[in-house]
C-alpha cells in the first residue's frame, strides 16, 4: 500500500503529519524523503500555517497524493499538529518538521522498534545536522528538575551517541507517536505556539505510566533552528514561557514547594548571565531581559487556563515525580548552556565575515562551546579545579583577538600518558609549527610568521594520539587543553 493509503478506504498503519510555515526552501526534500520510505503503508498530511511563500502552490502541483490542510491564519505549530491529527487515520502518527530529511529506512526501523518496545508510546530518531551528518543534533530529549529541556548528545560526534534507550521526550523534529496514547492524553496545548510541545508529550507519557525510547537506527537530518535562527530573543521568550507553563502544570505540589527558591535563583542567574555576557550589545541584553520578564507575565495572564490544566493532570497522573528521578528526569537544578555551538550556528554556509562574537582567549569552562569547532571531548575538571577538554587527533577552535597578535599561547594540562606528545598547530590553514609537550601541565607558545588579527581558525593536530577504552568502543585522544589565547 502506498502513500495514498488514506484515500482509498483502507486505514493506513502510519500517518505522517508535517507542519509547514514558509518552508518552500526545505519542504520538497522533506516530502520526497517521506515518499521514498521503504515501508509503504502510510498517508501524508501537510498542514500549512498560512504561509506567505509559494508552499501551498508547490504542494498542490507537485504532491497531489498528499492531503493538504491550510490554516486561515497563522496559529502556531501545536494547532497545526492537532489539525493534522484530527484528519489522520493511522494507528501510528509520525510528526515531522518541514526541515527534516528522513533516511529511506526511517519508518521501517521505527516500526520494528514499536514491536520491540511494547510499553513505549513515543519514539525518537537519531537526528544529525543536515550540514554535517557527522555531528549529533539529538538522541532524544532530557529534562531536569528546573524544567529545562535539551537534546541529549547535541554537538557530539555521531560515534559518541548514547546507547541508553530511555529518554524523557522525543525531539519533535521527527518522532513516532502511538495514536491510542494521543487519544488518552488529549491534543497538543495550542497556547504553546512553538517550542516545548514535544516536551509536553514526554510529560504526559510518563505521568500516565508509559515510556519514551530512542531508536538509533531511525536516522534523520535536521536543519536546526532554521525558522528562527539559533538564539533570537523571540525563541528565548517562547521557550521560557512554555517551560514555566509546563512546570506549573505537571510538577507535584511537594516538588514545587521544595524547589521554588532554587527556581527563583536560577531565573535571576539567567538574567545575570545575560547582563554579564561581554559579547552581547546593550540593546540585545535589554531585549533578552524584557523577553524573560514577559514570559512570566504571560503565564500570570493565562493563570486560569493553567490552573484548570494543572487540576486535570494532577488527577490523571499515575506516577509521581520521585519515580521519574534517575530514570528520565534528571535530578539536577541547573541551567543548560544557553548558546549553541558557533560551528553550526544557524546551520547555513558560513563566511568569515559572518562569524562574530568569538574572543581572543578560550578557557575550558561554561560558554567555551561558542569558540570550539569539531574534535573536542566533553569538558572535565582536574583535582585542583582546572577545567580542560581532551582533543581528538585533530581539533579546531576559533579566536578573534581585538588587536594584532604575534602568537598563540596554550596551557596543555595533560599529554600522552607514557610519552611526550607531538603537537602541531595551523592558523587559518597555514602550518605554524610543532612542539613536544610532556604529560604534565605546561604552557607553550607558538609564534606566528607575521602579526595577525581578526578571525583565527586554530587547528591542533597530535602526531601520536592514544586510545582509551570506553562504552561501545575506544576513544582516540590527543592532548588535554585548559586554555588557548592569542597574544
Residues 6+ apart with CB under 8 A from 91: 11, 13, 14, 178, 179
Q: Is residue 228 part of a domain?
A: no
Give the domain-ending residue among 222, 241, 262: 222
Q: Is residue 337 part of a domain?
A: no
Q: How much is the average pLDDT of 138-165? A: 87
Find out whether 249 and 316 touch, Cβ atoms under 8 Å: no
Same domain flag for 365 and 466: yes
What is the structure's pLDDT at 360?
Answer: 72
Give helix then strand counts, H and E, for the chain. Answer: 11, 25
pLDDT at 348 > cutoff 80: no
Same domain flag for 480 and 423: yes
Find out whether 42 and 65 touch, Cβ atoms under 8 Å: no
Q: Is residue 171 part of a domain?
A: yes
Q: Is residue 342 part of a domain?
A: no
Calpha distance 381→196 (Å, rounded)? 32
How many domains does one find in the chain? 3
Higher pLDDT, 34 or 355: 34
Calpha distance 167→324 (Å, rounded)? 11
pLDDT at 1 > cutoff 80: no
Higher pLDDT, 202 or 450: 202
Calpha distance 119→212 (Å, rounded)? 9
**Cα angle 474-480-485, degrees, rounded to a multiple of 5:** 140
Find out whether 246 and 203 touch, Cβ atoms under 8 Å: yes
The x, y and z cell numbers of residue 166, run together, are 530511555
What is the structure's pLDDT at 350?
Answer: 36
pLDDT at 354 > cutoff 90: no
Percent of the chain with pLDDT strictly greater than 90 = 46
E strands of 130-277, at which residues?
A: 132-138, 141-144, 149-151, 166-167, 174-178, 211-222
**Cα angle 96-99-105, degrees, rounded to a multiple of 5:** 60
Q: How much is the average pLDDT of 364-374? A: 76
Looking at 220-379, list the stretches that DSSP marks H as alpha helix, in order from N- to C-terminal side. Answer: 233-250, 253-275, 282-301, 303-316, 321-324
* pLDDT band at residue 470 under the 50/70/90 scheme: low
Same domain flag for 285 and 144: no
Task: Dump pLDDT digits (tens) for 57-83.
Answer: 999 999 999 999 999 999 999 999 999
Q: Is residue 259 part of a domain?
A: yes
Same domain flag for 25 and 162: yes
Task: Dump pLDDT digits (tens) for 35-54.
Answer: 999 999 999 999 999 999 88
Helix, strand, coil in percent for the chain, rounding step 5 = 30, 30, 35
Same domain flag for 85 and 176: yes
Give the domain-ending residue among 296, 330, 364: 330
Same domain flag for 156 and 244: no
| Residues counted in the chain | 487
b/e 35-62 (16+ beta carbons within 10 angstroms → b): bebebebbbbbbbbbebeeebbebbeee
Pairing of strands 361-363, 466-470: unpaired
- Residue 249, classed as helix, strand or coil, is helix
Sign of CA dihedral 64, 66, 67, 69: negative
Strand partners, 396: 459
Q: Is residue 344 part of a domain?
A: no
We report the CATH number of the domain holding residue 416 as 2.60.120.260
Same domain flag for 362 and 401: yes
DSSP one-letter code for 357: -
Calpha distance 122→171 (Å, rounded)? 10
**Cα angle 265-365-450, degrees, rounded to a multiple of 5:** 140
Higher pLDDT, 209 or 349: 209
Same domain flag for 263 and 298: yes
Q: Is residue 336 part of a domain?
A: no
Q: Is 158 left (phi over 0), alpha (psi -120 to 50) or beta?
A: alpha
Q: Which domain holds residue 300?
A: 233-330
Task: Dump pLDDT digits (tens) for 411-465.
Answer: 888 888 888 889 898 888 788 889 888 877 888 888 888 887 777 888 999 998 9
The alpha carbon of residue 142 and the mean position of all alpha carbons in its chain are separated, in whole angstroms, by 10
Q: Is residue 250 part of a domain?
A: yes
HSE toward the beta carbon, residue 286, CA cutoff 13 A: 3
Same domain flag for 215 and 268: no
Same domain flag for 359 and 305: no
Give the domain-ending residue among 153, 188, 222: 222
Residues 6+ apart with CB under 8 A from 25: none
Rank 199-208, 260-269, 421-430 by mean pLDDT and report only the highest. 199-208
* pLDDT band at residue 30 under the 50/70/90 scheme: very high
We report the CATH number of the domain holding residue 83 as 3.90.550.10
Closest by Cα among 277, 171, 199, 294 to 238: 294
The owner of cell 520538497 is 28
What is the structure's pLDDT at 46?
Answer: 97
Same domain flag for 284 and 375: no
Closest by Cα among 131, 297, 143 to 224: 131
Residues 6+ apart with CB under 8 A from 423: 412, 434, 435, 436, 437, 444, 460, 461, 462, 463, 478, 479
Same domain flag for 129 and 158: yes
Task: Dump pLDDT digits (tens) for 315-347.
Answer: 999 999 988 886 777 777 777 654 444 444 333
Amino acid at each position: 500500500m502506498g502513500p495514498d493509503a488514506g484515500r482509498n478506504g483502507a486505514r493506513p498503519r502510519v500517518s505522517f503529519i508535517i507542519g509547514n510555515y514558509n518552508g518552500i526552501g526545505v519542504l520538497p526534500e522533506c516530502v520526497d524523503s517521506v515518499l521514498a520510505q521503504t515501508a509503504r503503508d502510510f498517508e501524508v498530511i501537510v498542514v500549512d500555517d498560512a504561509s506567505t511563500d509559494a508552499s501551498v502552490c508547490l504542494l498542490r502541483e507537485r504532491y497531489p497524493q498528499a492531503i493538504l490542510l491550510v490554516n486561515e491564519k497563522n496559529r502556531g505549530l501545536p494547532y497545526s499538529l492537532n489539525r493534522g491529527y484530527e484528519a489522520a487515520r493511522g494507528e501510528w502518527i509520525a510528526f515531522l518538521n518541514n526541515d527534516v530529511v528522513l533516511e529511506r529506512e526511517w519508518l521501517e526501523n521505527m516500526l520494528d522498534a514499536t514491536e520491540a518496545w511494547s510499553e513505549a508510546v513515543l519514539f525518537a530518531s537519531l537526528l544529525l545536522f543536515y550540514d554535517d551528518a557527522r555531528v549529533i543534533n539529538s538522541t532524544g530529549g532530557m529534562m531536569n528538575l528546573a524544567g529545562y529541556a535539551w537534546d541529549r548528545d547535541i554537538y557530539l560526534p555521531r560515534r559518541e551517541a548514547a546507547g541508553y534507550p530511555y529518554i524523557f521526550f522525543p525531539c519533535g523534529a521527527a518522532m513516532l507517536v502511538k495514536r491510542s496514547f494521543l487519544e488518552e492524553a488529549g491534543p497538543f496545548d495550542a497556547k504553546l505556539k512553538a517550542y516545548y510541545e514535544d516536551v509536553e508529550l514526554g510529560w504526559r507519557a510518563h505521568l500516565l505510566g508509559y515510556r519514551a525510547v530512542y531508536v538509533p537506527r531511525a536516522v534523520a537530518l535536521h536543519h536546526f533552528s532554521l525558522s528562527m535562527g539559533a538564539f533570537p530573543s523571540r525563541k528565548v521568550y517562547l521557550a521560557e514561557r512554555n517551560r514555566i507553563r509546563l512546570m506549573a502544570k505537571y510538577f507535584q505540589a511537594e516538588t514545587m514547594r521544595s524547589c521554588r527558591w532554587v527556581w527563583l535563583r536560577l531565573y535571576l542567574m539567567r538574567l545575570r548571565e545575560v547582563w554579564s555576557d561581554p559579547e552581547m550589545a546593550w540593546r540585545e541584553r535589554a531585549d533578552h531581559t524584557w523577553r524573560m520578564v514577559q514570559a512570566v507575565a504571560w503565564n500570570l495572564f493565562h493563570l486560569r487556563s493553567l490552573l484548570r490544566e494543572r487540576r486535570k493532570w494532577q488527577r490523571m497522573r499515575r506516577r509521581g515525580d520521585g519515580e521519574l528521578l534517575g530514570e528520565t528526569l534528571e535530578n539536577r537544578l541547573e541551567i543548560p548552556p544557553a548558546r549553541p555551538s558557533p560551528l553550526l550556528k544557524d546551520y547555513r554556509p558560513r563566511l568569515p565575515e559572518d562569524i562574530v562574537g568569538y574572543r581572543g582567549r578560550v578557557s575550558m569552562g561554561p560558554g567555551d562551546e561558542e569558540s570550539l569547532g569539531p574534535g573536542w571531548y566533553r569538558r572535565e575538571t582536574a583535582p585542583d579545579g582546572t577545567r580542560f577538554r581532551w582533543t581528538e587527533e585533530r581539533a579546531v577552535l576559533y579566536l578573534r583577538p581585538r588587536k594584532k597578535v604575534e602568537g598563540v599561547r596554550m596551557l596543555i594540562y595533560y599529554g600522552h600518558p607514557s610519552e611526550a606528545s607531538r603537537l602541531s598547530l595551523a592558523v587559518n590553514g597555514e602550518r605554524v609549527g610543532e612542539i613536544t609537550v610532556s604529560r604534565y601541565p605546561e604552557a607553550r607558545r607558538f609564534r606566528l610568521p607575521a602579526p595577525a588579527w581578526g578571525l583565527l581558525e586554530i587547528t591542533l593536530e597530535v602526531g601520536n594520539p592514544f586510545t582509551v577504552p570506553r562504552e561501545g568502543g575506544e576513544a582516540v585522544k590527543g592532548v588535554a587543553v585548559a586554555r588557548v589565547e592569542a597574544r
